[in-house]
Every structure is written in structure tokens, then in C-alpha cells.
Amino acid sequence: MRKTSRKERRQMNVNTLQGLHACCIRAKDKIAELNNTAVTNKKSADGTTYIRWGRTVCPKTAFLVYDGYAAGSYYSQKGSGINTLCLPKDPNYDQYTDGLQPSGRIYGAEYETHARNTWSHLKDLEVPCAVCRIPSNNVLMVPGKNECHVNYLLEYKGYLMSGYYSPKGPSEYVCVDDQPEGIKKADGNQDHNGKLFYFVEGSCGALKCPPYTGGWELTCAICSFSPKV
């Protein structure tokens, strides 16, 4: 058996070192890949939700948690909650007593859009909603805009809506999608009132006009933080 020369042994050592170097690079790349996956999963777990009012589906940028019915307090009553809720379609009950007791009350929401030609077909239909999840941790509703500021991604745009300005019961401003859906009632399109959704218009005086215009319907946008790399 022939003995290897010093030159051959040196070349073998070089090849071994090169092989170890390549192996280290692959291991380093694999660690970086795993770290990136862990960060991605963490971001996914750290996401947040928003409600898309007026729709039963979420935008392509979001995952649907559930869809349901917009609901809140009766438009003319002082009590119960001010905020608007998105009630799921499959409620669970625990302990209960039949009949209405001294309690808070919640009612389904209806569109009050008969004065607007574009949305007049929605008059007295129930308002749907969708709870949407995105990986971003920062979501805001921008009133008076139908586009987002720099470093924010548009989730959806629409019109600012609330209860009527004169009844005694307070209400919340929500952003209703500009391509709204309506839910027909089981007993037809009867006017049950309940929680009512009206367009919101600017009223000059305390509101600075310009830039705002009195009597014009205010737009809105739902925006998520998405900084450009």
C-alpha cells in the first residue's frame, strides 16, 4: 500500500477544513432560518383584531375570526352600553331566567340610510359585522379619511356612522365599509329600530370649516401599521 506524500496529506487537511467551513455555513444559515421562523410565529401570535362593520367577510389581508350581527342599546334609551358590539351567530348561554328582568338590554342594529340614494336599499336591514385578525399589533380607525398615512396599510375604507344626533341615548362612532351588506329580517324588512346606524355629517362652528365642510358625510379608514423596510 502506497504511503501518502506530505503534499497529499496537506491537501487532505485543506479539504477537511473546507468541508468543515461549508458545514458551519450551512448550520449558520439553518439557525438564521429557524430564528426567522420563530420571529414570524411570534409576530403571528402577537397579532390583533378589528371589526369590519357592514360586512360578513374580512379583507384579503386578514383572517376571519367570526362574523355576526352589530348590536347595541336602543336608540332612544339612556341606559345599557354605549359601545357597539359584534355578536356571534352561535351564542352560548349558562344560567338564565326566562322573561325580561331588571337588566341591561341589547338590540340588533339597523341601517337608517333612506335619505341617501346610494344606500337607500339598505334601509331597515340589519347590519352585519366581521371580526378580523391580522399579524400587526397596531390598528387604528382614522375618521375623515378614506386612505392611510405613511407606514400604514389600508384594511378597509368606508363611512363614519353613529346614532342620530338628537335622541337621549348616546352612541359610538364606527367605520362602516363602503361596500356594505345588509341582512334581511326573518319577518321581512319591518322597522324594529333598536341600534340605528346613521351617516355622520360635519357641523361647522366648533368644528373647523375648512378643512371640513358642513353637511358632508365623513369618510373613514381602518389602517394597520406596516412600516416599509
Question: Is residue 99 in a domain?
Answer: no
Query: In terms of domains, do 159 and 67 share one?
Result: yes
Between CA 214 and CA 226, with CA 220 as vertex, the angle to 5 degrees is 145
Task: Measure Cα distances from 75 to 40, 127, 155, 159, 170 in Å.
Answer: 44, 14, 29, 19, 8
d(C-alpha 23, C-alpha 208), whole Å: 67
Question: Is residue 159 in a domain?
Answer: yes
| pLDDT tens-digit series, residues 22-63 | 665 565 556 555 544 444 444 456 789 999 999 999 999 899
Look at residue 133 and give its three-state secondary structure.
Answer: strand
Whole-angstrom Cα Rg for the chain:
29
Query: In terms of domains, do 81 and 132 share one?
Result: yes
Burial of 176 (0-12, 13-18, 19+ CB in 10 A): buried
* Number of domains, the chain: 2
In this prediction, what percent of the chain has a pLDDT beyond 70?
A: 71
| pLDDT tens-digit series, residues 88-108 | 999 998 887 887 777 677 888
Q: What is the mean pLDDT of the chain?
A: 81
Eight-state DSSP code of residue 193: -
Query: In terms of domains, do 199 and 211 share one?
Result: yes
- Range from 55-59, 92-96, 115-119, 157-161 carrying the lowest mean pLDDT: 115-119
Question: Is residue 4 in a domain?
Answer: no
C-beta of residue 73 within 8 angstroms of C-beta of residue 107: yes
Q: Tell me, what's the pLDDT at 39?
A: 40
Query: In terms of domains, do 148 and 71 share one?
Result: yes
Structural domain range at position 63: 48-90+104-225
Eight-state DSSP code of residue 183: B
The residue that leads in pLDDT, 123 or 3, is: 123
Query: In terms of domains, do 135 and 165 share one?
Result: yes
Taking the alpha carbons at both ends of the chain, their separation in whole angstroms is 62
Query: In terms of domains, do 78 and 183 share one?
Result: yes
Query: In terms of domains, do 64 and 156 share one?
Result: yes
Question: Is residue 122 in a domain?
Answer: yes
Query: In terms of domains, do 41 and 57 share one?
Result: no
Question: Is residue 96 in a domain?
Answer: no
Query: In terms of domains, do 58 and 169 share one?
Result: yes
What are φ and ψ of residue 121, in 5° steps? -70, -15
Give the length of the chain: 229
Please determine, for residue 205, whether its predicted confidence score (pLDDT) is greater than 80.
yes
Question: Is residue 18 in a domain?
Answer: yes
Locate cell 331597515: which residue?
124
Q: What pTM does this model have? A: 0.75
Look at residue 137 and give its three-state secondary structure.
Answer: coil
Question: Is residue 138 in a domain?
Answer: yes
Spatial neighbors of 182 by CB under 8 A, at least 6 apart, are 111, 121, 122, 125, 126, 127, 128
Question: Is residue 145 in a domain?
Answer: yes
C-beta of residue 148 within 8 angstroms of C-beta of residue 142: yes
Cell of 78: 339612556
C-beta of residue 181 within 8 angstroms of C-beta of residue 70: no
Query: In terms of domains, do 84 and 16 share one?
Result: no
Query: In terms of domains, do 64 and 116 share one?
Result: yes
Query: In terms of domains, do 33 and 70 share one?
Result: no
C-beta of residue 194 within 8 angstroms of C-beta of residue 108: yes
Maximum alpha-carbon separation in the chain: 105
In this prediction, what percent of the chain has a pLDDT beyond 90?
A: 43
